[in-house]
Structure 1
Amino acid sequence: MQRLGTGIGWRPEIAEAVERMPGIDWVEAVAENVCPGHIPDSLRRLRERGVTVVPHGVSLGLGGAERPDEDRLTALAERAEALAAPLVTEHIAFVRAGGTLTASPRLEAGHLLPVPRTRDALDVLCENIRIAQAALPVPLAVENIAALFSWPGEEMTEGQFLYELVDRTGVRLLIDVANLHTNHVNRGEDPAKALDELPVEAIAYVHVAGGFERDGVWHDSHAHAVPPAVLDVLADLASRVRPPGVLLERDENFPEPAELARELTAIRETVENAPKVSDESSGVRDGGAPKDNTATDTGTGTEPARQRLALAQAALLSALVAGTPAPEGFDRTRLAVQARALASKRADVVAKVAPELPEILAGAYRPRFLAYAHGHPMTDGYRHDALAFAEHLLLHGRLEDADVQRELSDWWLERSGPAPLSRRPAARLARATRRVLLRR
């Protein structure tokens, strides 16, 4: 495995600062935000300087009940090739549920949600990872995620779950020490115990990030400075194995470049000052053929497990985004916190992909979107969500300002094309909007 060194998550908002920052050995870019035919100039210049770029996927949903989508896998492979990446990474999470396996509407979480640490979930995840490995031109590493809640009836600890996953598939691990800290606060899980149990020799690289605690819940925000408690987990990991790479994640609320540089220095020094480990434990497993070739990994025995997992995940996601009752055994208070966090993130991302909406609606944007989200789960991507929200306001929102109505109508008509989301012709919606305006 290639040694990566110290890196930072590349984001357009800090692209110039990253290019100028000393001591950056590599960067990680969100795969879905990179177009293979139009690599951002900043990433292209970094590549030309010999800086490694790793695409980090967020939408595959490898922990979901369905097999990985072929188009998403193809897109991830194309990004790996376009960036000449030595590996690609994704998450041990599910991001959507429902659909054909449950004969129910497909729902999108818009966020990474934890999979249950059960035999069913492990069997499905192993097969999904093998499918992904076969479709990708470079090795795959998968990341442990942060969670606000626990699944009832879990059969393994996180370390045991990851150990078996690596043993059965040969996949590499992306260990996020901030997520280990998050799960310590939110789920009472000891990071040291997780590190004791997981195969540290399979680590491809490590994530480090900041967050904040509110009312006893740790929020993995990626918008705050890295706290000492997260650096302590990093030091513990580095005392067990020298990770090939360590990367600082920051997604918003970006500080001055000097502050980012100080955080990188603290991360680098934490790893360097950890007790030395032996050469035998400082490498990474080759990731060759999986050791376990049971029927559950071949695709012939996972269908019952997929069905059970699909029903469980659909019930949970429906409770989080559609307001249905919480499934039995879950902490309802924690699910409510997660539901609010999902709606808030959804509003934030829609505002980023369609910045005209908060400009048009001004201070009314956020309360109106949150009210809309409560009764309208996301069923596709965020751009579709923005259009659906605007259409809902035009037809049912009772907008009092005629200028706002006109601006929103013009925006929707320009972006919806000849086949609007509701399958109404654009002209029909325009006529309906004009009728509303004439009544004012």
Structure 2
Amino acid sequence: MNETPRLGIGIGWRPEIAGAVEELPGVDWVEAVAENLCSGHLPESLVRLRERGVTVVPHGVSLGLGGADRPDPRRLADLAERAEALGSPLVTEHIAFVRAGGERTASPALEAGHLLPVPRTRDALRVLCENVRIAQDALPVPLAVENIAALVSWPDEEMSEGRFLAELVERTGVRLLIDVANLHTNHVNRGEDPAKALDELPVEAIAYVHVAGGIERDGVWHDTHSHPVTRPVLDVLAELRSRVAPPGVLLERDDDFPPAAELAGELTLIRETLRAAGPAPVRDSATVRPSTVRSPAPAATAPVRSAPTAAEEASGATEAARERLALAETALLSALVAGTPAPEGFDRRRLGVQSRALAAKRAGVVAKVAPELPGILGDGFRPAFLAYAARRPMRGGYRRDALDFAEALLTEGRPGDPAARRRLALWWRERAAARPPRRPVRLARAARAALAQGLTRVAHSRSFRTPDGAREWPRGASGS
């Protein structure tokens, strides 16, 4: 495996600030959301940056490596194409799940539209390791995976975040993308000590670091990526720098973009924080091959285990772990987006906060990908969409969500203003079909949607415990 490249100081490239990014002084590299790029038609701004020698790293958000299913070969192929088109030295993704349900649980397929935390259990680790290996084999460059922020904690977890990441690196040789803002978020929301996590994880495997802003409301930290970077996040960056010199550090900003001067000021703060933290007392991670990294176990903890043996794999242990993980993740996601009861052991208040945050994010993203809808519906867009989201989980990405929302309004004879309803019908017709569905078709679709939601609730209410304590779903409970 090639050595981790030295990246330097970078910023997340977004179309809204493409011009500013090109003009910012001292930007060594940029990161672009992979799913927003087309390998055959790269944005001109990224082409110009590459021609100037600026490294571009594609950052994936949809693989769902922490999910129960194996990575989608089509998504992997798309990510590989983008890496090759950009000449990238590596690609990155998240330790998260983004979808659940389907055949494994005999329940409707659900999309989160968001990165959700995997349980830090042996089952989840076993599945994640296999998924990471599959991704590594399909990609033309090394993979690095990112720790995520979370509002909720899984009950009965078996490992801390640092130990979970250490074992993942030990078993797969994967690199790490450490988001210090996410470590701070998990400190506020879940009481996890960032310094302890940094002590436990193999810092020599770090490919690069994310720094981002957020805001605290009612004791909950929201990792918004739309606020300035705060001092506590910079303090976590300093903690990391005191342990290792990361090959790259990147500022993320996804919304409410400030003037270029403010972005430049935040980059200066990051540089000053790294400089003030002093030289790292350990080896520079740019010279270490992650496949050879070994993290010593802290006192009073079990040693890091090696990769599963052939006998373990042959016994079907991973497939059994996938089944258990599928049930657990489906129960959680169903509670968040389909209104089913909270799984046992979860903080119901926090689940409510997360559920509302997911719905608000759906509304915000749909307003961006389909800006005509707020234009047609005016102030009624957001309440109408939130009411729709409460009864209709996302089923195929945000653009599909926008079409489904418009169709649901038309099915109900809304909006009430005839002119607005005609405009909405025209918008829907231009993107979805020759004409809006006739009344019998609309009623049949509404009935199917209600039946699917009802069966999901029944499946959850009839769930039971297996001898090993895992929650099962009755196999006949399908919404299809």
What TM-score bracket applies, with the shorter chain setting the length? over 0.9
1:44 aligns with 2:47: yes
Instruction: Indicate how the Cα distance of structure 1 residues 299 and 235 shifts in structure 2: closer, same or farther if over 3 A, else same.
Output: farther
Query: Aligned to 2:361, which of 330, 345, 348?
Result: 345
What SS does the corresponding residue of 1:280 show, helix, strand or coil?
Answer: coil
TM-fit CA distance, 1:431: 11
Query: Aligned to 1:315, which of 331, 338, 354?
Result: 331
Residue in 1 that maps onto 2:290: 287
| Aligned AA (1:264) | L
Query: Aligned to 1:206, which of 185, 195, 209?
Result: 209
What SS does the corresponding residue of 1:262 show, helix, strand or coil?
Answer: helix
Residue in 1 that maps onto 2:180: 177
Query: Aligned to 1:216, which of 216, 219, 229?
Result: 219
What are the within-5 Å matches in structure 2 for residues 235-246 of structure 1? 235-246=238-249
Measure the CA separation in 1 of the matches of 2:23 and 2:440: 53
TM-fit CA distance, 1:398: 3.4
What SS does the corresponding residue of 2:286 show, helix, strand or coil?
Answer: coil
Query: Aligned to 1:123, which of 119, 122, 126?
Result: 126
| Structure 1 unaligned spans of 5+ | 419-425, 434-440
| Aligned AA (1:186) | N
1:25 aligns with 2:28: yes
TM-fit CA distance, 1:396: 1.1
8 Å contact from structure 2 (residues 60, 94) kept in 1: yes
Measure the CA separation in 1 of the matches of 2:214 and 2:421: 38
Residue in 2 that maps onto 1:142: 145
8 Å contact from structure 1 (residues 172, 285) kept in 2: no
Measure the CA separation in 2 of the matches of 1:21 and 1:114: 34
8 Å contact from structure 2 (residues 99, 109) kept in 1: yes
1:268-305: CA deviations, max 9, x gaps?
A: 11112212124634435423489525245689431110
Measure the CA separation in 1 of the matches of 2:388 and 2:134: 37
Query: Aligned to 2:102, which of 85, 99, 104?
Result: 99
Measure the CA separation in 2 of the matches of 1:428 and 1:368: 20
8 Å contact from structure 2 (residues 244, 283) kept in 1: no
| Aligned AA (2:336) | L
Measure the CA separation in 2 of the matches of 1:76 and 1:299: 32
Measure the CA separation in 1 of the matches of 2:389 and 2:401: 10
Instruction: Indicate how the Cα distance of structure 1 residues 429 and 47 shifts in structure 2: closer, same or farther if over 3 A, else same.
Output: farther
Measure the CA separation in 1 of the matches of 2:314 and 2:232: 41
| Aligned AA (2:408) | H
Residue in 1 that maps onto 2:461: none
8 Å contact from structure 2 (residues 95, 118) kept in 1: yes
TM-fit CA distance, 1:417: 3.2
What are the within-5 Å matches in structure 2 for residues 187-202 of structure 1? 187-202=190-205
1:6-56: CA deviations, max 9, x gaps?
A: 000000000000001100000000000000011000000000000000000
TM-score normalised to structure 2 length: 0.86
What SS does the corresponding residue of 2:283 show, helix, strand or coil?
Answer: helix
Residue in 2 that maps onto 1:402: 418
- Count of matched residue positions in the alignment of Structure 1 and Structure 2: 426
Residue in 1 that maps onto 2:162: 159
What SS does the corresponding residue of 1:207 show, helix, strand or coil?
Answer: strand
| Aligned AA (1:18) | V
TM-fit CA distance, 1:432: 9.0
Q: Superposition RMSD on alpha carbons, in Å?
A: 1.7
TM-fit CA distance, 1:427: 6.0
Residue in 1 that maps onto 2:431: 415
8 Å contact from structure 2 (residues 403, 428) kept in 1: yes
1:180-219: CA deviations, max 9, x gaps?
A: 0000000000000000000000000000000000000000
Identity percentage of aligned residues: 72
Measure the CA separation in 2 of the matches of 1:360 and 1:305: 47
Instruction: Indicate how the Cα distance of structure 1 residues 297 and 50 shifts in structure 2: closer, same or farther if over 3 A, else same.
Output: farther
What SS does the corresponding residue of 2:344 show, helix, strand or coil?
Answer: coil
What SS does the corresponding residue of 1:327 show, helix, strand or coil?
Answer: coil
| Aligned AA (1:353) | V
8 Å contact from structure 1 (residues 409, 430) kept in 2: no
What SS does the corresponding residue of 2:104 show, helix, strand or coil?
Answer: coil
TM-score normalised to structure 1 length: 0.94
8 Å contact from structure 2 (residues 414, 421) kept in 1: no
What SS does the corresponding residue of 1:323 show, helix, strand or coil?
Answer: coil
8 Å contact from structure 1 (residues 127, 298) kept in 2: no
Measure the CA separation in 2 of the matches of 1:70 and 1:340: 32
What SS does the corresponding residue of 1:330 show, helix, strand or coil?
Answer: coil
